[in-house]
Amino acid sequence: MSWTTPKKAIMLAASAEGGTKLNAFDNALLKMGIGNVNLVKLSSVIPSHIEWIEKVPEIPIGMLLPTVYAHIESDEPGTTISAALGVGISEGNQGGLIYEYSGYCTKEEATEMVKRMVEEGFRIRGWKLKEFKVAAAEITVKNKPAAAVAAVVMFPY
């Protein structure tokens, strides 16, 4: 993290089980390829002209990475939990917005929630929505704690 502005970003989502809620969260991060870095939680704006990448780059263990994330954990068997991030990109890639939602619902319901939030965020700023993207994960709890996580991780170079 820096006083500067991120250059690249990636959207990721996964769900996982674990021996505790925190381990389930950790296991979901590992599936997403970001289990060995330090996430610094951000509020939710995408810099201008960001480049979206498809694959987590090689990152030193313990590097600090600014990240917008939504997560939910549960250990109640039978419960379905979901986390979603909705990303709206503006015309000309001048900037974008990220909204998060997590709750006791399906992935589709969480996606619908973040879509509605993105649309309102664009409307109120007078920005034109060129593209809507979503990262969402869902899991139904069985006999172990489980987590659903969605993240937009940002990179400085």
Q: Could you say whether residue 30 binds a second copy (CB under 8 A)?
A: yes
Contacts for 115 with CB less than 8 Å, ≥ 6 apart: 86, 132, 134
- Confirm whether 93 is a catalytic residue: no
How far apart CA 55 and CA 133 sit, in angstroms, is 16
Closer CB to a second copy, residue 78 or residue 126? Answer: 126
Between residue 128 and residue 157, which ones bind a second copy under the rule CB under 8 A?
156-157
Q: How far is CA 4 from the centre of its chain?
A: 21
What is the number of other CB atoms lying within 10 angstroms of the CB of residue 144?
Answer: 15
In the complex, minimum distance from the CB of residue 7 to a second copy, in angstroms, rounded to a whole number: 10
Q: Could you say whether residue 53 binds a second copy (CB under 8 A)?
A: no
**Stretch of 47-55, 75-83, 102-110, 128-136 lying at the interface with a second copy (CB under 8 A):** 47-55
- Confirm whether 43 is a catalytic residue: yes
| Candidates 15, 27, 90, 100; catalytic one | 100
* Phi/psi at 80 (5° precision): -105, 130
* Phi/psi at 120 (5° precision): -65, -40
Closer CB to a second copy, residue 78 or residue 143? Answer: 143
